[in-house]
Every structure is written in C-alpha cells, then in structure tokens.
C-alpha cells in the first residue's frame, strides 16, 4: 500500500508536466498559424488546460494533508507541485498578453521562443518520468543539465530579440508590447528551469 501512495505522487508530477506540454504545444500551434481573431478561442482552450492542472494540483495537496509518510518531504512535494503548475500558468499568460496588447502580427523571434519552450517542457516530462528512480538513476542529472541548457538558449534568444526590437525603432507602443511579451516568453523558460532546480535539490537532500 505504501508503494501505491508513492507512485501516486510521482504520477501527479508527471501529470502536471503533461499539462505544461499540452499548453506549450498549443502555443506552438497558435504561433505557427497566427490569427488574432482566433485568440479568444485559443485562450479559452488554454484556460481549460490550466484549470485542469490546478484541480489536479489541489487534489495532490489534499492527499498530502492525509498522508502519514510521503515518499519525499512534504515541503518538497508542495514546492515541486507549485513550480510545475507555474510553467502552465506562464504559458497561458503569453496568450493573454497577445490578446491584451492586440498583437496583429508576430515578430519572427516569437516562433523560435515557442519551440524552445516546447523543448523545455518535453525535457521536463522525460526528467519527471525518471524522477521516481532518482536514487538509482544514471540519466536524471543529464536531463537536468539539458533543461539548464535549453533555458540558456531562451536567455540568448531573449537578449537577441530585445536588441533587434530596440534597433528597429518601431512605434513606442509596439516596443512596449513586445518588451512585455518577450519578458513573458523568457519567463516560461525560467519556470521550466525552476522545476529542474527543485528536482536537483530533492536529489541532493536524499542522497
């Protein structure tokens, strides 16, 4: 019975990352075929993903309250659940900003950002699927390093995109809007790295 409870927690982490992957895939699709008029429908679909992830996270927290001996520290379960959920939230925020700022056309860097985010989420899923075996795993450290590397790609893309944005000397309102959007896109990569950082701390604590 104890093993069943342990598996449930790790499955919950994977489930949360699956929601993030679904959100990232949707972002890529929206960016590949960008239609401003379709944004309200995309936002509604994205919110369903985010809301489902929230419900699952709350279920995990309710289970944790009743748990006598969780497989890892309660604080780590809470932090990991929260940081995973933050990834999905940050991706949803990108779509909301596109609508709020009435973005009619995408800058070319946006699609590259969406792909990096999707790659980060896919790497998170691989890492979290391996996480139940973290005490014996020979690959999870490599997966953490991969996520860190993808976040660095996002940092470079952000730096280059911001340089180009301000070098173009566009209308001030466009500069303002895209500054905020690039901030949100880069934040998605940061949130993925936050998950990897928590996993790394859990591994060190339990080694």
End-to-end CA distance of the chain: 24
Report the candidate in 176, 173, 81, 74 with the shortest Cα–Cα distance to residue 128: 81
- Residue ranges of alpha helices (H) inside the chain are 2-32, 39-66, 74-100, 108-130, 140-167, 172-205
What is the Cα–Cα distance from 81 to 83, expressed in whole angstroms? Answer: 6
Report the candidate in 111, 124, 170 with the shortest Cα–Cα distance to residue 19: 124
Query: Residue 5 — pLDDT band, cuts 50, 70, 90?
Result: very low
Report the candidate in 10, 184, 11, 191 with the shortest Cα–Cα distance to residue 87: 191
| Number of domains forming the structure of the chain | 1
Sign, CA torsion 35/38/39/44: negative
Report the candidate in 140, 2, 148 with the shortest Cα–Cα distance to residue 71: 2
Residues 152-161: tens digit of each pLDDT: 999 999 999 9
pTM here?
0.93
Q: What is the residue range of 90's domain?
A: 2-205
Residues 50-68: tens digit of each pLDDT: 999 999 999 889 888 888 8
Q: How many CA atoms lie within 13 A of 192 on its CB side?
A: 38
Would you state the pLDDT for residue 3?
45
CATH (domain of 157): 1.20.58.220
Name the one residue in this structure whose structure tokens are 């604590």: 205
């Amino acid at each position: 019975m104890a093993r069943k409870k342990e598996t449930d927690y790790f499955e919950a982490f994977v489930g949360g990352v699956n929601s993030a992957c679904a959100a990232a895939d949707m972002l890529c699709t929206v960016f590949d075929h960008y239609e401003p008029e379709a944004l309200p429908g995309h936002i509604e679909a994205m919110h369903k993903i985010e809301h489902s992830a929230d419900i699952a996270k709350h279920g995990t927290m309710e289970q944790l309250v009743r748990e006598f001996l969780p497989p890892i520290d309660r604080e780590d379960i809470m932090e990991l659940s929260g940081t995973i959920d933050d990834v999905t939230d940050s991706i949803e925020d990108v779509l909301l900003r596109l609508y709020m700022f009435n973005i009619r056309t995408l800058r070319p860097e946006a699609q590259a950002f969406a792909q990096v985010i999707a790659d980060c989420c896919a790497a998170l899923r691989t890492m979290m699927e391996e996480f139940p075996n973290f005490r014996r795993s020979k690959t999870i450290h490599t997966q953490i390093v991969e996520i860190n590397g993808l976040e660095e790609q996002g940092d470079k893309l952000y730096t280059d995109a911001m340089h180009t944005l301000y070098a173009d000397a566009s209308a001030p309102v466009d500069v303002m809007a895209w500054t905020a959007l690039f901030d949100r896109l880069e934040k998605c990569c940061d949130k993925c790295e936050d998950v990897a950082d928590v996993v790394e701390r859990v591994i060190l604590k339990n080694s």
